[in-house]
Amino acid sequence: MSDQAKPAGNTQHPLAGARMSGADIVVQVLADEGVDTIFGYSGGAILPTYDAVFRYNATHKRADGTAAMPLIVPANEQGAGFMAAGYARASGRVGVVMVTSGPGATNTVTPVRDCMADSVPIVVICGQVPSAAIGTDAFQEAPVSAIMGSVAKHIFLATDPAKLEDTIRSAFELARTGRPGPVVVDIPKNVQNWEGEFKGHGGLPLPGYRRRLASVLGNKLSDAHCQRFYTMLAQSERPLIYAGGGVINGNATKPMRRWAAEYGIPVTTTLLALGASDTTHPLALHMLGMHGLASANYAVEDCDFLITVGARFDDRVAGDPANFAPKAKNIAQFDVDIAEVGKVKQVNWHQVGVLARDLTDLLAYGRRIEFTRSFATWHGEIATLKKEHGLNYDRNSKLIQPYAVIEEINRYSKGEAIISTGVGQHQMWAAQFFDYREPRLWLTSGSMGTMGFGLPAAIGAQFAAPGRIVIDIDGDASIRMNIGELETATTYKLPIKVVVLNNFGDGMVRQWQKLYYNSRMSGSDKSLHSKDFVKAAEADGFKFAQRLDRIEELQSTIRAFMEFAGPAFLEVIIDPDAGVYPMVGPGLSYSKMITGDYIKSREKPTDVMPGPSEMF
């Protein structure tokens, strides 16, 4: 954190009126915004701002003598983007990426889209060729505005140096407010080199955005609206909260937990909301959806009042919207974005506003009218669902089961570690078998499903939460996408723990090919499989780098791995036929859920094969 505090109220900034270069203005605004870590890779078009960061850090130190705003250099700009995303997801603050023009900027497209899809606040600062050269196909020029405009929350091309300060401040405002998201600022090199007066305050007008935001902020729950909600709750026998990532993004976990606890309402969460409800709580149903727990999905089938909080009925949860929560007589929806209300599923009651405030006001109204309702019978049914349809697997197999690996690691993490993942089977196993007692402990690419996310996101999270254990659960295919970041972890002496569950190929693709394509392993039979991951980790500086391939050594190896003080790498050779169950095929309802051989199903589904066009 900068020792140059952000001015409060109308207090004049101590540097107001000082002459600065555009690059120095950018860095000072970053400091004013509380930025304490920058992730990025240098290059010609961003060098003025990189130099400004260097000079700022030379004169601004933390109490321990380290730089106030360290610049973390990855192996690739995509890694920088995912590090910023991991930082933002783990901390709730805006992550910052700083890259050069051309390929530097285009390498961040995937992280930007990933953050947009999952509502993650980052600001990407790109260098650009000088203003006069834009449009001439100059060296390392790319049309960043055109490319990023379709995947970011907003994009600025800062050609007016007098507005640069206002633009950077507005980028942070846009990234963190309303529905969070990524904002890109493209700054020509001549604007970075320009010199002018630093104001120390201000932002761009943004009248339309601020008007919409003010509408949401001002839309408070009325007594009449609360009364309608509690009338529906009074009529309910089996209410269920369906919580989405908006609960975590909106810092509404505590208000939601308080409201749920007040009336004893069970909670199930989406993939991105793991930790919004303490998964060890008796009324927590963990995750619902395509690979959600059978007990959670059956609870959705049984509930008569579905209370949707910060969730959007996406296709991985409501694959068959018409038959989602089929017994629900009423559906309520809380969200910050009006576009999500009624987009997929019609609801009887909705509130578009600030989640934390609205849930707090709803609880206050309930207490004021002394609302009471017993759901004891429903609680018993929930307990039975969890007992009879809990997760399970072949516990007598001679091969290492990935579920057993995660269960053993979970014994050490106790639901308090930050878990980051790539995308694939390992991602779902980590979602299912780890406990999450708090929010912002689960980092994964949800809507985009971006392989290569796990390792750089874990690095970003470790900078955001240096006191936490951070574990990357990855797959052999997924980690390859950004395996260069192993060296980043050791270079910065980050004690992250990396687990590669190696089934020698794209396990999730193979699972779908077995189920829906008569085991025609197109492409997945040629997946890369000759890499020695342990040697790769050793070459990148990991002092603990081991391979676990004997089931009898599982407990002792994981104990040594978890107790190792520095960066640790563990490759586990798992059963290549291990699958992710339960599974709800795309476009199907929960009544057609496949539970596999070891999880009890209510009934064996029959017609569960979707058409080829519905794959993924």
3-state secondary structure 281-350: CCCEEEECCCCCCHHHHHHHHHCCEEEEECCCCCCCCCCCHHHCCCCCCEEEEEECCHHHCCCCCCCCEE
**Catalytic pick from 428, 508, 583, 593?**
508
Residues 413 and 341 in one domain: no
What is the pLDDT averaged over residues 37-43?
98
Q: Is residue 578 part of a domain?
A: no
Amino acid at 520: R
Q: Is residue 584 part of a domain?
A: no
* pLDDT confidence bin for 613, thresholds 50/70/90: very low
pLDDT tens digits for 554-604?
999 999 999 999 999 999 999 999 999 999 998 999 999 999 999 999 975
pLDDT tens digits for 373-427?
999 999 999 999 999 999 999 999 999 999 999 999 999 999 999 999 999 999 9
Q: How far apart are CA 335 and CA 350, in angstroms?
A: 8
- Split into its structural domains, the chain has a count of 3
Q: Is residue 144 part of a domain?
A: yes
Residues 281 and 407 in one domain: no
Residue-level pLDDT at 614: 42
- Mean pLDDT taken over the chain: 94
Has 544 been annotated as catalytic?
A: no
Q: Is residue 168 part of a domain?
A: yes
Residue 305 belongs to domain spanning: 219-388
**Catalytic pick from 189, 345, 497, 592?**
189
Phi, psi (deg, nearest 5) at residue 91:
-105, -25
pTM (2 d.p.): 0.94
Has 189 been annotated as catalytic?
A: yes
Q: Name the domain boundary from 539, 556, 573.
A: 573
**Catalytic pick from 77, 165, 340, 485?**
77
Q: Is residue 393 part of a domain?
A: no
Q: Is residue 358 part of a domain?
A: yes
Has 77 been annotated as catalytic?
A: yes
Residues 168 and 278 in one domain: no
Residue-level pLDDT at 512: 79
pLDDT tens digits for 203-250?
999 999 999 999 999 999 999 999 999 999 999 999 999 999 999 999
Do the Cβ atoms of 610 and 585 come closer than 8 Å?
yes
Q: What is the CATH number of the domain that holds 273?
A: 3.40.50.1220
Has 82 been annotated as catalytic?
A: no
Q: What is the CATH number of the domain that holds 121?
A: 3.40.50.970
**Catalytic pick from 6, 12, 61, 139?**
139
Residues 25 and 49 in one domain: yes
Q: Is residue 591 part of a domain?
A: no
Q: Name the domain boundary from 336, 355, 388.
A: 388
Residues 433 and 377 in one domain: no
Residues 289 and 198 in one domain: no
Q: What is the 3-state secondary structure (H, E, C) of 488-538?
A: HHHHCCCCCEEEEEECCCCHHHHHHHHHHCCCCCCCHHHCCCCCCHHHHHH
Has 438 been annotated as catalytic?
A: no
Q: How far apart are CA 138 and CA 161, in angstroms?
A: 21
Q: Is residue 597 part of a domain?
A: no
* pLDDT confidence bin for 10, thresholds 50/70/90: low
Helix H or strand E encompassing 230: helix 223-235
**Catalytic pick from 1, 140, 237, 407?**
140
Residues 211 and 223 in one domain: no
What is the pLDDT averaged over residues 484-512?
93
Residues 384 and 447 in one domain: no
Residues 377 and 411 in one domain: no
Residues 462 and 335 in one domain: no
Q: Name the domain boundary from 358, 388, 418.
A: 388
Do the Cβ atoms of 375 and 263 come closer than 8 Å?
yes
Residues 380 and 455 in one domain: no
